[in-house]
């Protein structure tokens, strides 16, 4: 039985989806799209975001047919129990992979820009245990935390970039659409990692107070994150050009470092952005951690998901330590993108087709 204080509103869902998608990938996004599509990076983000929105709506359509059940229960009804168990195990691993990737990237960036003398293990342990604390109390505190941190993350980032407006060279976005359809499609595919996070819709549906604004809430979260990604990529490629952007590891931080904010009392603007970005990674990790824990608890029929939060902490921690360097981290992230294709595109389409065939005549 789900308690009332474990429910989130549709407006909270909108913000939760935004903060979950806005994770570690935002720092490398301009470089990723510059490599994939050159000067057409903004177009790739727009199209990639719209494609992701379509599949988020498909997942929500399937889940809405079983509003009181999580993926573990309704996938059994759609695709038989053995297939459901297998898919749930892969889904848990999938959530843990993205949780650990976010954790490791956070550790690497924090050590490089803020905590040079602190062992990366200490940085990661601190973050994952802080995440575990809030995950134990369920989705409602995570959503409330996202509501509080949302304006703190978005508004200062957008304001800080404004003084660099005069440094933007619009010719860096030319030529427009002089790119092969295959390369454009590949670029859209590669931006998928930046929109990873909406898959929590698979498991959180029973915890949403459903009204008549669900579609609108999902649309708002996606158009907001698309606009935010377009905004920071516009500044990054507009200032550096796509060639220079594509060879940088975290081009957004380089842009921030180059900004001269007239009369500003904070010298190290990148430290301020790092603080803001820490909130983004924290909310993203918490959502993935919660989704993995909830799915596992439903799979083994545990009484409370909170019993499994701490046991998953060392799993996430050691998974985060597997890559030997930051280069390997991003290589593993590119491998994970292929796993994303299954859970974001193939599985929703398969489940949608089965549900439509079985419930085609129902309204």
Which tens digits make up the pLDDT trace of 14-31? 999 998 888 767 777 888
Helix-then-strand count for the chain, H and E: 15, 0
| Domain assignment present for 292 | yes
The H-or-E segment that residue 278 falls in is: helix 269-299
Mean pLDDT of 185-212: 83
Residue 231: what pLDDT?
A: 92
Q: Which structural domain range is residue 241 located in? A: 10-355
CATH number at residue 237: 1.20.1740.10
Percent of the chain with pLDDT over 70: 93
Tell me, yes or no, whether 5 lies in a domain: no
- Cβ atoms of residues 160 and 269 within 8 Å: yes
Check residues 359 and 88 and name the one with the higher pLDDT: 88
pLDDT tens digits for range 257-297:
777 766 555 566 777 777 788 888 888 899 999 999 999 99
**Could you give the number of structural domains in the chain?**
1
pLDDT one-digit tens code per residue, 318-360 = 999 998 888 888 888 878 877 888 888 899 999 999 988 876 5
**pLDDT mean across residues, the chain:** 85
pTM of the predicted model as reported, rounded to 2 decimal places: 0.89
The contacts found for 257-260 with CB under 8 angstroms, 24 or more apart, are 258/164, 258/167, 259/160, 259/161, 259/163, 259/164, 260/163
pLDDT on residue 24: 61
> To 10 degrees, the CA torsion angle through 135, 138, 144, 145?
0
Please report which confidence band the pLDDT of residue 132 belongs to, taking 50, 70 and 90 as the band edges.
very high
Cβ atoms within 10 A of the Cβ of 144, count? Answer: 16
**CA–CA dist 78, 64 (Å, integer):** 13
In a domain, residue 140? The reply is yes
Higher pLDDT, 361 or 70: 70
User: Which one, of 209, 226, 171, 223, lies nearest residue 44 by Cα?
Assistant: 226
Asked if residue 362 belongs to a domain, the reply is: no
Give me the count of residues in the chain.
363
CA atoms of 302 and 72, how far apart (whole Å): 13
Place of tokens 């000067």: 39
In a domain, 2, yes or no: no
Asked whether residue 189 is domain-assigned, the answer is yes
């Amino acid at each position: 039985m789900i308690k009332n204080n474990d429910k989130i509103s549709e407006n909270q869902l909108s913000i939760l989806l935004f903060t979950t998608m806005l994770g570690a990938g935002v720092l490398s996004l301009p470089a990723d799209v510059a490599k994939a599509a050159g000067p057409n990076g903004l177009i790739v983000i727009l199209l990639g975001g719209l494609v992701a929105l379509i599949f988020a709506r498909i997942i929500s359509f399937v889940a809405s047919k079983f509003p009181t059940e999580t993926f573990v229960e309704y996938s059994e009804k759609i695709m038989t129990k053995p297939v459901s168990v297998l898919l749930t195990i892969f889904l848990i691993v999938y959530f843990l992979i993205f949780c650990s990737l976010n954790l490791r990237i956070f550790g690497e960036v924090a050590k490089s820009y803020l905590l040079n003398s602190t062992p990366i293990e200490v940085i990661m342990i601190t973050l994952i245990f802080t995440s575990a604390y809030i995950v134990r109390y369920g989705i409602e505190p995570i959503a409330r935390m996202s509501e509080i941190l949302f304006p703190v993350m978005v508004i200062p980032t957008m304001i800080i970039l404004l003084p660099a407006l005069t440094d933007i060279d619009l010719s860096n976005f030319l030529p427009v659409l002089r790119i092969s359809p295959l390369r454009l499609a590949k670029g859209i595919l590669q931006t998928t990692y930046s929109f990873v996070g909406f898959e929590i819709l698979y498991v959180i549906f029973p915890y949403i107070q459903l009204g008549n604004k669900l579609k609108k809430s999902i649309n708002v979260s996606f158009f907001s994150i698309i606009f935010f990604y377009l905004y920071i990529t516009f500044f990054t490629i507009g200032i550096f050009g796509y060639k220079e952007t594509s060879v940088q590891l975290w081009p957004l931080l380089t842009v921030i470092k180059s900004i001269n904010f007239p009369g500003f009392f904070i010298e190290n603007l990148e430290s301020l952005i790092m603080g803001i970005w820490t909130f983004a990674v924290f909310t993203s990790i918490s959502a993935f951690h919660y989704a993995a824990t909830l799915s596992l608890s439903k799979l083994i029929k545990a009484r409370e998901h909170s019993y499994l939060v701490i046991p998953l902490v060392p799993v996430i921690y050691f998974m985060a330590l597997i890559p030997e360097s930051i280069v390997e981290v991003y290589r593993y992230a590119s491998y994970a993108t292929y796993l994303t294709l299954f859970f974001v595109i193939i599985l929703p389409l398969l489940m949608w087709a089965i549900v439509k065939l079985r419930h085609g005549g129902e309204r």
